[in-house]
A and B are shown apart, each in its own frame.
Chain A
Amino acid sequence: MTDPDIGSLETEMNRGFLQILVLALLEKDMYGYSMVKHIERLGYKVEENTLYPLLRRLEKNGLVGSKWDLGEDRPRKFYAITAAGRALRTSLLGVWKNQNRILSEINKENIDAQ
């Protein structure tokens, strides 16, 4: 039997993960390019053309705010998490921790059964 292609499944998993990741990352103000590079340094890759639409959706829902900084040699748009974003992040991290615990327990059961 060949290994299943995880590409599309990984994309689906990443969709939720990316939202928590961005909300976690924006505890301090960051602009898009710096977020991409920061995430890359942590060993994960985010498509740049995926990040900006996500930021826009989060902003539309009041979870992040943004402002343009025109002081540098080129304009940069900085994003920051809002109070609503922090509340959501806490809830999402709770969901993620619970999912993680469930998978760990099932994994442990499987190892014990072998």
Chain B
Amino acid sequence: MMLKNNSFSKKESRLYMSFMHVTFAALLVGGLMGLLQVLSRSGKFQLPFGINYYTILTVHGVILGLVLTTFFIIGFQFSLMGKTVGISDQQRKWGWVSFWTMLVGTITAAITILVGEANVLYTFYAPLRAHAAFYIGLALVIVGSWIAVFVNFRQLYVWKKANPGQKSPLLSFMVVINMAMWFIASLGVASSVLIQFIPWSLGYAATINVLLSRTLFWYFGHPLVYFWLLPAYMAWYAIIPKIIGGKLFSDSLARLSFILLLMFSIPVGFHHQLTEPGIDPTWKFIQVALTFMVVIPTLMTAFSIFATFEITGRRKGHKGLFGWFRHLPWKDVRFLAPFIGMVAFIPGGAGGIVNASHQMNTLIHNTIWVTGHFHLTAATTVILTFFGIAYWLVPHLTGRRLTPKLNKLGIIQTIIWTVGMTIMSTAMHIQGLLGGPRRSDFSNYAGGEQVSTWISYQMAQAIGGTILFIGIILMVYIFIQLAFFAPRGVQEYPIAEEEIDADPTPKILENWYLWIGITIALILFAYTIPVIDIIKHSPPGSLPFDWPIGR
């Protein structure tokens, strides 16, 4: 695989860095909102200036769950494509169109939320109604991301034309898989926003089919979490081995794992709607079974990571059953942060299996267990891996170096994050099992007996959340250093190579028609009949509700 070893051109770097600037600005704003939430839910503090709890909750979810992740992922993936298959001037210009469209959409949605016109949380469930500008802003973010999708597709296409018969570089293959998944999935939420929400919020449609809107949201919402996770997997498969001084474990295994994730990430949205009336239990069961298929590529990934660590360690001469583990580069933050992310995915993934287990979902549905779950998966596994990437990507783009001092600060940041999240997420999980609700503002619920068991966990969440906010301030400081002040130099862009004698990757793994065809077939199988049922047999649609937490 021929890779560009040199740095990007200035024009290229500027595009990729623009996405990073928005990412870390979003981290600061969204993190502050998280701090206000946990303090408010502790019952010891009241939000100042009459700020509505649901305003900050919506900002937190939208800015961190949708904006930070999407900007980081698209910027990182553009850099991966630029590094592995190259980018033309015209493609780069379209990259800018993508960036500005997403930014205009983000600012539109953010202002609408901040002025109190969209307290509908990041899931924007109907019949809560936001101002149309909120939905239009979100639609622009998605349209902007679609421009990036097609630029990435085009980049690989041009490379394939120039390199007939050669397999695509692994990371470009992974980016295209992730963008294919994102495009197919976001069609659901985009159609819901354009056809249902915008006319309804503008008053052109009197009512909305609530169940259909929620179904289309979760058709998108579950693959959304895989859209966050796959770039972390890209780093685990193809970047971490280079950082620890090893080689790619298996190109074929990595590609197969991504193909399986493409196929089984989308036709599974009903596992978020297991308590929802109006969906035939048979179809819920089918989608639960499809959900469990995701366990296969996930465990393949775990096996591959362990094997990479062990092979690398043994080649370096480390003996014993776990000698290879002790000698991993623990003092290198480019490794440590993603590694903690991997560890967090063990309870995170196991908790996800519980969530998706049909009847057992009633144990945790709408409790703060779920919030604890996605703060492990998204806010630890994914985010710590993204931080781990930023430590080398940002200085690579700005022509600076990750100095030993910044590396040390990064390690401290990782430890702060780990401690804060362990306290906050564990407390959320336990409180959820005790029946504590998610989403809602602080309340003593008229002094119920069960409620008295929750408050100590809410205090623990406030402590954990405060520690996490300290971690956010430190991370933003490190980002600013890496972007503007660190010493000039060359920071490696680490991409692992294959073994010299690696077995050839089967050509079928690059048969896009086959894999996308199976993906679409699975989606049609899992959704066609229930969606027809939902449209034909729904109760009358709902009028908009601006109360109690909407506008």
The answer to whether A binds B is no
